[in-house]
Structure 1
Amino acid sequence: MGLRRILPLRPSRPGRHLMGRRDDGQANILLLFGLTLALLALTLLFVRVGAANDSRSQTQTAADAAALAAVGALQDKAAREMLNGAYPMPWFEEEVAEARAREYARANGAVLTSIRASDNVMGRSGNIVRVEVRGARCQKELEEDGSRHWNDVVCDGTEDESRTVVGNASAIAIVRVPSQCGRDAGELVCDGGPITDLGSAKRLIDVHLVDQEGRYRFNPNVIFGGGPMVDCSSLGALHPVMCAVHQRLQAEFGGFYLNAGGQRNEPGSDHHTGEAVDYMVADLGGRPTDAMHATAVEVINWSIQNARQLGIKGIIYEQHIWNATRGDPVGPWESVRRPMEDRQNNTQNHVDHIHLAAGDGPMR
């Protein structure tokens, strides 16, 4: 039996298993560190997204406030006119509306960048106002030299952009005068009674936000006069014959209209030459009350009977026309009028007003 060689045992490396445990620990630490960074990044992202959403919300609030303030200025003006017996039209005054919108935009941390008016009655009233604002809250609220109070946080546009948070927003608001208005012996009557104080006049006028602008941009060149009696000078450069007819109608019927519109830049129309006046018997785009309609027909019948001696060329009302220059016969309105095409609008169809033309040449 041979002897077997017994090999000596190889000593194990000290700390081999401990080294393996240290590698695992370092990996865990790196993983934890990475997760911490990821969570921090997500936190910062959520903070930034939240801040951005908050900024957008504040800017939209500022736009809403500015739009309502703008039409609120028109509401105040319209209420004062109604209290004085004048049915208001047009309503939009850019300087007044812009000043109020700018004030409310700034109070809500924004700067007014644009304002415009429109309506759905051929640009005559401007009762729908759109504003756009630029949100601007300064990150550095207090200047080192004390030139800026800590509570004055709205940027004025001169600051470095790195120190501001900005964003744009827009809003549209509308002001509406009540349609149930008429005249009683020349006095303005709305909702069945006279207007006795400014507060009750304002309550008659509706103001709220809307989603759409009007179909027509406001035309500041349209001239209207309000009140139970309107001088020719308040209706633009009227033709002498049209002015004489206007004065005679007022003498015969007093304040038979809510307000009146005269000469305006409208080539191809008698309005362009001052040979036509629109006598509003309802609010723009609305329908007259039964009493106002009855008065309108009374005025029209008288005008037709006296057209030849007064120089009246023609009349348009409730989507019908009577044209003396074309040879239409003299008689009651209901029997001598001719229908017109439907223009899909109470103003263009002359439902809300009497169009009366007087002067030289054919009716245009």
Structure 2
Amino acid sequence: MSGRRGDDGQTSLLLIPAVAGLLAAVLLVITMLGDGVQKRTQTRTSADAAALAAAEAWREAVDDLYEQALEGSFPARVRLLHALLDGDPTDLDGGAARSQAERFASSNGAELTGFDVRVGPRGVEYLATTRSLTDVHDTQTKPEARAVARAEPRSGLCADGGRLGIVVGGHCLTGSGAFPTPEATPTSTPTGTPSGTATPTPTPTPTPTLDLEPLRWRVGLVE
């Protein structure tokens, strides 16, 4: 009996290091999984924030131009609308969209590795790809994430055929051909008549108008 007890004791002692090693391995796996989940979540947040920040920056730039058009005279209004609609609408922010995307990616522990913009059928869309600044615990893996945000005009402006347009009478009009060009109204010089009677004053040409709807947006994630 004593011999068997001695063998059992030796076996138990031998199992202790094995159990300790197994527990250490399990804890390491749990740590890696937890860190991986946390970093993937953080990286996904950074991509969402970067895409949304880019879309908001572009929207603010367009808002500023549109407000100037609303407040200006007819000729100034038309000139601003031509500038707004004739060029590439994705250039209207002057680079602010990308700068904001980089800033928000960095503030969420990631770097901006991909950036693109397109005019879709419903608005301007910004795609942001980010990568974590740090590796997952005990690996050489840095999680990546991708997000797309859209600035969709709900009134005032519209998107059609990859171009930005303006809503007039319920229709989406794009390009400079959609608007009248302001021209100087010629002035008439009164002339006398042989009989000395006054010449009727010509009816003045009415000043053209271009009524704009208030500008409203929906900005949100689409992917």
Equivalent-residue separation in structure 2 for 1:63 and 1:120 (angstroms): 20
Q: List aligned pairs for 1:80-229, cutoff 5 A.
A: 80-85=64-69, 86=80, 88-89=84-85, 90-93=88-91, 95-121=95-121, 127-137=124-134, 166-179=142-155, 181-182=167-168, 185-190=209-214, 201=215, 204-211=216-223
7, 20, 25: which one pairs with 2:4? 20
Could you state the TM-score of these two structures normalised by the residue count of structure 1? 0.39
Query: 1:179/1:51 Cα in 2 relative to 1: closer, same or farther (>3 Å)?
Result: same
Larger radius of gyration: 1
Q: CA deviation at 1:164?
A: 7.8
Equivalent position amino acid for 2:115 in 1? I
**1:185 aligned counterpart, secondary structure:** coil
1:99-120 deviations in whole A, cap 9, x for unaligned?
1100111011111111111233
Q: Which has the higher contact order (CA 8 A, sep 6+)?
A: 2
Q: CA deviation at 1:174?
A: 0.4
Q: What's the secondary structure of 1:166's corresponding residue?
A: coil
Distance change >3 Å, CA 91–CA 206, structure 1 → 2: farther
Deviation at 1:134, TM superposition (A): 1.3
Deviation sequence 1:175-234 (CA, Å, 0-9, x none): 0112454389224223xxxxxxxxxx5xx11110002xxxxxxxxxxxxxxxxxxxxxxx
2-side partners of 1:68 and 1:22: how far apart? 69
Matching residue of 2:202: none
Q: TM-score, normalised by structure 2?
A: 0.62
Unaligned runs of 5+ in 1: 1-16, 140-161, 191-200, 212-364
Structure 2 counterpart of 1:127, one-letter code: V
3-state SS, counterpart of residue 92 of structure 1: helix
Paired position in structure 2 for 1:259: none
Aligned to 1:68: 52
Structure 2: runs of 5 or more not aligned: 70-79, 157-166, 170-207
**Is residue 38 from structure 1 mapped to residue 22 from structure 2 by the alignment?**
yes
CA displacement, residues 83-133 of structure 1 (integer Å, 9 cap, x when unaligned)? 112564443237221111001110111111111112335xxx971111111
Aligned amino acid, residue 68 of structure 1: L
Cα distance change, pair 126–175 in 1 and its aligned pair in 2 (3 A): closer
For 1:166 and 1:70, locate their aligned partners in 2 and report how far apart those are by CA, in whole Å: 23
Hey, what's the Cα distance between the residues in 2 that align with 1:50 and 1:96? Answer: 36
Deviations 1:233-283 (A, max 9, x none): xxxxxxxxxxxxxxxxxxxxxxxxxxxxxxxxxxxxxxxxxxxxxxxxxxx
Q: Cα RMSD between the aligned structures? A: 2.8
SS in 2 for 1:174: strand
Question: Does structure 2 retain, via aligned residues, the 8 Å contact 1:82–1:188?
Answer: no
Aligned-partner residue type, residue 171 of structure 1 = A
SS in 2 for 1:132: strand
If each structure's helix is expressed as a fraction of its own residues, which one has the higher value?
A: 2
2:90–2:118 CA contact under 8 A, matched in 1: no
Identity of aligned residues (%): 27
Give aligned pairs, total. 158
- Measured after TM superposition, the shift of residue 33 of structure 1 is 3.0
User: How far did 1:28 drift?
Assistant: 1.8
Distance, in Å, in 2 between the alignment partners of 1:65 and 1:189 is: 30
Please give the alpha-carbon distance, in whole angstroms, between the structure 1 residues aligned to 2:118 and 2:24: 50
